[in-house]
Structure formats: C-alpha cells, structure tokens
A and B are shown apart, each in its own frame.
Chain A
C-alpha cells in the first residue's frame, strides 16, 4: 500500500492504495466519484477523461499513485452550481443521447477549448479524436463545442 494525497473536485483525500490501482477505480470505488465512467480497457474511448492539474487525462491510464500530490477535476466538479458553458451547450445542442461518453467528452472538450479557444469544426473533430461516442454521430457534439466557444451556431 502507498499513501497518496490528492484533491478531487476541491476536497482533499489521504488514502492508502495499492500501487496498481487505476485512478478511475480510485475515483469510482474509493471516493464515490461515479460521475466518471469506464468505457474500455485500452484507453481508446475516453469516457473516463478527467483533468489532472488542469490537463485532460484518461483516468484509466493513470495510476492512483501517479496522481499523488495532484489536483483532479471530474465532471462532478466542473461547475459550481451553474452549469459550465460546455454543459449548457451539450444540453442546448442535444449533444448527448445515452450520456455515457458525455463526462469524458465534456472534460476533453474543456481542455481543447483551453488550448484553442476558437477551434474550427475540423479542429474540434481532430481534438476530440480520443473520445468515442456511439449515439450522436458527433454532429451535435461539434455544434456544442462550437457554441461553448462562443462561435456562431447556425440553425439546423
């Protein structure tokens, strides 16, 4: 067991963890942060994307011990009461159906907009390549990210 000290969505935790414990399982099974789901076991789908010290990571590809001393933001900590502009845009543009990919998609999109505040449609598509959605065909996800960036979104 190894002791880790992490801050998740603004709350500090000190825990003993097995060195092999994945960050996503630490979040889900140890501290009850079930807003971050697991969609695959090869880091292809991106459903488990969270922010580690402000940068998006697939939390299935990070060990909990690697997060020691870090600040983690999950979908549950993205907003303070009011929805984050991306959450609002995903809702307005119907950018989700089953919603399983949505936490990861929003966290990845937030990182994308941090790096590139006014992305083109193609830049949005390329930037979200690591996050898979099986429901939406991505059409409305692209629209939502564009909307959240403040760019004009034409009526459908």
Chain B
C-alpha cells in the first residue's frame, strides 16, 4: 500500500474553484427528497383549513377511507395523544406567550392552510383525489389581520391569552436628553411587507418507522436541530431517530423549521407500518411555509444641525402570525442590535412588540431581522440628508465608525471587530460614477425630464455567524451556536471531512475542501466532504444566519490543526527526533530547517493505519474532531449604490445600475462569494420592487401561486457590478466573515432610496414596498394634487398584484399610540 505525496501547486484559499457539487446538479443526478422511492411507500395529502379562524366542530374521514387506492385517513384527534406541540426554541422574554401548536389542528384553526386531516394513498394523484371526501365542519371565528389594531381591547383574539406575545426593550444612553432640544428630529413609519421565501425546491418529507427505528428524509436546512426537536416533540428516543437532508434546493431560512408535516410523517408511518412521502405543491407551500418580515416600524431620529446623530428610537410591531414557530419571536429581535448600523450615537432605544394574527406564522427569511433594521435605518439616513440638504454619503460619513476606531463597542452592546467603511464607500463611489450620475440627475430635474434619475445609498453592516453560545444563552435561545467538524485521514492518503453545517446550495463541499487542502497540503480532489445525515454527521448546528464558514469552516480548520498535532508525534518517532523539532510545511512533516526530510502527512496517515511503528501510548489514528464556538459575531459591511430611472408618467422603475462593494473579510472562494452576493441582491431588490404576500379582508392568502407572488425573472433584474474590500475579521483564525445575507440586507433600502431620491423634488418622501408602477404612479399623482411642500408617503395604493381592493396603508404612528406629530402625517 502506498500513499502518494503531492502538495497542491497553488494556494487554495482565495481561488475561484468551480464547485464539486455541480457535477450531479447539472446532469440531473441530484438526490432531492421527492426522488426517494422506498418499498411499500405511500403518499400523504393534507386537508387544510379554508378559514383564517374557525372552530372545528366535526371531521369525518370515513368516506375517504373507502376510496380506491386509499390506505388510511386521519384527523387531528387521531394524533392528539402523540403529536405534541411544534416547538418554539426562542422564548425571548420571561413572560412571553407561546401558544400550543399542534401539528394537526384538533379544535381550532388559526390560519388558512393549517392542516386538519390527511389521507394516505398509493400515489400522489389518489391522495389528492381523496381530499374531497374528507368532511370537515367549521364554525367561523373572526380573523385578526391587522396587527396595528390587534392589541385594541375590542379586537377579536387569536388565542385565549390575547394577541400580544411579548414586548422586548433594549435601551442605552439618555434618550430624553438626546431628543430634548435636538435641532433635527425626524420620525417616520415604514412598512416591512410580508414575504414568501420561495426556495425553488418545494418542501418534501419521507418518513419511515420500522421497529424501533425512525428515519426522516426532509428538504431541511437543519437535520441536526430537527432531530433533537423531533425527539423532544414526539417522544421518539433520539438515538432511534435518523434525519437525512439529501440535496436540498434552497432554503433562505424557510427550511430552518420544525414543520407539522415532518412530525406527522413519522407518526403516520408508525400508525400504518409503511414509509410515507409528502411533497407540497407550490400553492400549498405559499400558504404553509413560514413567511418572512412583516413589521410596522416607527423610527425616530434626533440629530445636530451638522448631521451628527444624537439618538435613534425604533419601535416595532412584528406580526408573529398565528403561532410561534422555531425562532419566530427571535427574528425581529436580531434587529435590536442592528438599528444603529454602522453609526455612532449618544442614545438608543429598540422596542419590539410581537403580535399574533390569523396568518401563516413568520420566521427566518434571508437576513432575519437585519434587513428590516437596515431598511429603516438607511431610509431615515436619507431623510436626514434631505432635511439638512446634505449628500447622503456625506451624512453617513459624518456618523460612521472610522476604520481606526475598531474594535468598537456599539450603542446596542455589540463589539464590531473590524471594518473599513471609508474604503468600501470610496470603491463603490468610483465604480458607480457617483458624481457624474448626480450631474445627470440635476440635468434631468432642470429639464423636467419625464424620466427622473434617482441615486440610492445603503451603507450597512450586519451581525452574522450565529453565534457565540453565551450570547445566545443571554438572549434565552434554546441552543448553542457552535459547529462541529471531523477530519478523517484515510489509509490511501485521501481525506473525509464531516461537517455539521448542512449545505443547501452554498457550496460547502468545495469551500471546505479548499480549507483542508491548504491546511493539510492535500490535493483538493482527494478530499470528500460529508454532511446532511445525522448518522454520517452526528453533531451539528446546521446552516443559517451566514454561519457556515465563520463557525463551521473554523471548526474544519481546527480539526485539521489537531490532525497535524497528532501527525507530528508520529513523525517525531519515525524520524527519531524531538516532537518540538518537527515542523509541518505544505503537507510535509520534517525536522526544522530541513524541509526535504521527513514524510508527507499521507505517509503518516498510512503509518497510523498500519500502526506497526507507533510510539508508546499513541492511538493508531490521525482522525480529529473539533467543535468551534465563536467568541463574537462576524460583521461584514459594505456600500451599495443604486441608480433608478423612474418614469413619472407611468410609475415604472428601472434599475439602471447597481454597484455592491462588500467587505466579507478574507475570501475562500470568490466565485461562491460573488454568487451569494448576486442572489442576495436579487432577493433584496425583489422586496423593494416586486414581492408581497397579501391576505384579503377575510384572511385568505391571495398570492398562492408564482403568477400572483412575483419572483423576479432574469428579464426583471439588472446586471450587478460587484467588488470587494478586504478587512479581515480579527475574531477567527481565517479572518473570514459571513456573506450569505449581506446582499439581501443592503439592497432593499438602496433601491427604495433611489426611487425616493428621483421623486423627492415632487415632495415624495416614501413609497411603500413593493414599489410597483401603480404605487409610484399614485404617489406622483398625489404629490401633484397636493399643495406644494406637502410630503407624500405613497402608501395608499392597492396591493402589489393589484387584483383585489385592499388598502394596505394607514397611520401606523397613531396605532402605536405615539403622540408625536409625524412629518409624513399630512399625506393622507
């Protein structure tokens, strides 16, 4: 047996490696959950509530059971003793209300789409056919649809305990002093519309119980968290439960969940003794995959007349939907640490009230709390610039943390380790031709061009790399934030890397291979990365919150270091040298000063395997595990600039150019990083221009299909100009920061700022998202019909897809109980 020794010719870190994963994905050899076929497998379909709120008075599945091809049919009562309650792992305050959430409703339904019964049949067509034979009687109850009035005493209740789930407050500094006599006080109310995450792969679940053993295949981001939670929820012993996330077609937070269908797949399989599969249709998914965002944000800013921020006061109403799911209440609270963004200030207040409604629960969607915070902050920074007639970039620079001030303790209690906002902004400004575009904007204004030009700025940072376990503990989160990795040195010199990060499109197999190749001096091609199966990868905290590289990647790096330490001991023995004299250089263990001597790490791996000549007391293995718990979050930042052409005659918005300069620290694979930025931009721009989940006045979701919920196509999005500055993180050994959510966080305010900038001479100071042509056009009409100087907030239009007469505007400041006269209050 021989082990080839060959150090990689080039450094892998920073190399634009096309991905290992692609080979199966581009040839149709992918293992999606819906592809799995097991012997005797049956198909499940769910009967779902057509009412937003109703009491279930009768469920009769007997007729469905008689249909050809139907194996079984169940109602919630059939699971009542075993289904438990879907978990919420983040009780954010001691007195939070966490209502019981049965996977299948037994007494009451609280959103359209909630499961009330199921049928199990030989194929998906027979299962779907049988749904009509299930008879359910409901006694409708009043829906709760507007969280701005849901806390009124007269409001119907979603749960007996009331509509308020929690109230969270974080304050620092003397807010009263800062606002007292402040030369500039700006108050705005912004709407974060409800979004549907829309991963391209619909959810699918296969559940199989045989004897004591349970196996669940699921299109999930979190096989490890899911295993723990399913064991806690159902009482299935954890050691008997295996969760497999095969190839997963995107998640964006939507598959960071413990779903009813996952619990029920195991329970149904146990009841009938056969494996079962459930695959959702897209319209079923739009109803029942958790939604994102959905906040009303009142934000108030005090500043000096030179633009220096004194204080910021954010007061949120966050729509929880009908229940608290895995991290529902924690999502808006991530904003508690982000409403101050990259800026210095004297005082800060963040308040968030979580409110129940009879809608699909909200939970993590790409950025989770940080896009919402960044939007409101970057919008009001533009308002401050306009108020003081300052350039938006200048007012930001007046306030941002200077590069020499890092590490910097922020007003919201975080310590930013590194950053260089000046460098990123200078680069973005140059790529964007900022000054030329400003000149063109002026020319168009002077000539009354029907197509006006707007420039939008967004300078963001975000906290990612979730997360230091102690911090999570202090925030009452139900788990830690570490990540686990194993590096297994095989006798033939090849390497298996086991990671707890469960990729679903991010490219871990490639990036992790690059890290290990560099660290151990082993060819990239000789490394195999295993993940996504709790029997193969027994420990992990999975993939979300831009944590994979900054936590999971560091664990991989740490496991490699342990391999080297073990190898040195064996090498010293073989070379008859002192362990202290052994060095490791690009794959070779050698005596200090003699890099040609010694053995390759592959040779040492073989020596460990044969174990013929190991020193006394040394285990015959180089294999190593590492678990990494970060000391701090990572804080990517950047400057995004967007130029929009706004046709004042039609309301049509066209993005003319978009420049994103991001600082994500050291880069492992620039192809992957650029891809993450591109995709993030697309989703953030889509929030600004296209997407909105709309419930009508009865609580029916009207955007159940991709024809109604407008995901942008290639024709709807511009070319992106991306670049990077590199300010390494100082809190991890690779100097890396997260990148997965940055684009989404930065881009939404850049686009809306650009639209408002184009229209500001008309007196328009806000357009409610999504900024559809109709909304923009109406705002322009309103501005033209108003007295000069009257600010217009453009929030009175019909919903995005324009098919129903439902007004989504309203005076949120009043609903908040604020007595402050809002600057934009006169618009309505």
Contact = CB atoms under 8 A, between A and B. Distances in A.
| Most chain B CB neighbours (cut-off 10 Å) among A35, A38, A98 | A98
A92 interface: yes
Report whether over half of chain A's contact residues are helix, strand or loop; otherwise say mixed.
loop
Contacts of B282: 39-42, 45
Contact of A100 (B23, B200, B506, B713): B200
A96 B25 contact: yes
A38 B706 CA distance: 13
A139 B26 contact: no
A4 to B, nearest CB: 16
A56 interface: no
Contact of B714 (A76, A94, A125): A125
Given A42-B282, A100-B250, A125-B714, A133 B200 contact: yes
A34 B715 CA distance: 28
A140 B22 contact: no
B427 to A, nearest CB: 15
A138 B504 contact: no
**Size range of the chain A interface in the assembly:** 35 or more
B658 to A, nearest CB: 10
B620 to A, nearest CB: 40
A133 B670 CA distance: 20
A119 B670 CA distance: 27
A87 B671 CA distance: 17
B32 A34 contact: yes
B707 A42 contact: yes
A70 B507 CA distance: 38
Given A91-B19, A125-B714, A156-B674, A97 B679 contact: yes
Interface string A5-28: 000000000000010110001001
B678 A139 contact: yes
A149 interface: no
Contact of B27 (A25, A75, A100, A139): A75
A9 B18 CA distance: 27
Contacts of B125: 18, 20-21, 25
B714 A138 contact: yes
B283 interface: yes
B25 A99 contact: yes
Nearest to B282: A40
Interface string A35-56: 1111111101101000000000
A134 interface: yes
B434 to A, nearest CB: 22
Contact of B505 (A98, A106, A137): A98
A33 B30 CA distance: 11
Nearest to B709: A44
A39 to B, nearest CB: 5
| Most chain A CB neighbours (cut-off 10 Å) among B671, B672, B679 | B679
Interface string A72-88: 00111011000100010
B334 to A, nearest CB: 22
B692 interface: no
A98 B248 contact: yes
A21 B30 CA distance: 23
A79 B27 contact: yes
A65 interface: no
Interface in B647-685: 670-672, 674-676, 678-683
Interface string B213-224: 000000000000
Nearest to A37: B32
Contacts of A140: 674-675, 678
B28 A100 contact: no
A20 B129 CA distance: 12
B281 interface: yes
Contacts of A132: 200, 706, 711, 713
Given A42-B707, A44-B706, A98-B504, A87 B26 contact: yes
Contact of B719 (A33, A91, A121): A121
Contacts of B22: 90-91, 96, 99
B770 interface: no
A135 B19 CA distance: 15
Contacts of A28: 34-35
Interface string A97-135: 111111100100000000000000100111011111111
Contact of B199 (A35, A91, A134): A134
Interface in B783-816: none
A125 B720 CA distance: 14
Contacts of B711: 132, 134
Contact of A83 (B26, B199, B672): B26
Contacts of A45: 200, 282, 706
A44 B248 contact: no
B415 interface: no
Contacts of A136: 675, 678-679, 682
Nearest to B672: A94
Nearest to B197: A134
A137 B717 contact: yes
Given A83-B27, A128-B713, A138-B682, A97 B705 contact: no
| Most chain A CB neighbours (cut-off 10 Å) among B35, B200, B705 | B200
A135 B719 contact: no
B674 A94 contact: yes
A15 to B, nearest CB: 14
Contacts of A29: 123-124
Contact of A139 (B32, B123, B720): B720
| Most chain B CB neighbours (cut-off 10 Å) among A37, A74, A103, A106 | A37
A97 B18 contact: no
A131 B678 contact: no
Nearest to A130: B713
A92 B676 CA distance: 16
Nearest to B747: A137
B82 interface: no
Contacts of B25: 96, 98-99, 102
Contacts of B417: none
A141 B200 contact: no
Contacts of B671: 94
B552 interface: no
A83 B29 CA distance: 13
Nearest to A99: B25
A134 B34 CA distance: 19
A57 interface: no
B215 to A, nearest CB: 19
Contacts of A83: 26-27
22 contacts: A29-B123, A34-B35, A36-B28, A39-B201, A39-B202, A40-B202, A90-B22, A91-B18, A94-B18, A94-B674, A96-B22, A96-B26, A97-B250, A99-B30, A99-B505, A121-B719, A136-B675, A136-B679, A136-B682, A138-B713, A139-B720, A156-B670
Top 3 A-B pairs ranked by shortest CB distance?
A35-B28, A99-B25, A98-B505
Interface of A: 18, 20-21, 25, 28-29, 33-42, 44-45, 47, 74-76, 78-79, 83, 87, 90-92, 94, 96-103, 106, 121, 124-126, 128-142, 156
Given A34-B32, A37-B249, A40-B706, 18 more contacts: A37-B32, A38-B34, A38-B202, A42-B282, A91-B19, A94-B671, A94-B674, A97-B679, A98-B250, A99-B26, A124-B714, A125-B715, A126-B714, A129-B714, A134-B199, A137-B680, A137-B717, A139-B720
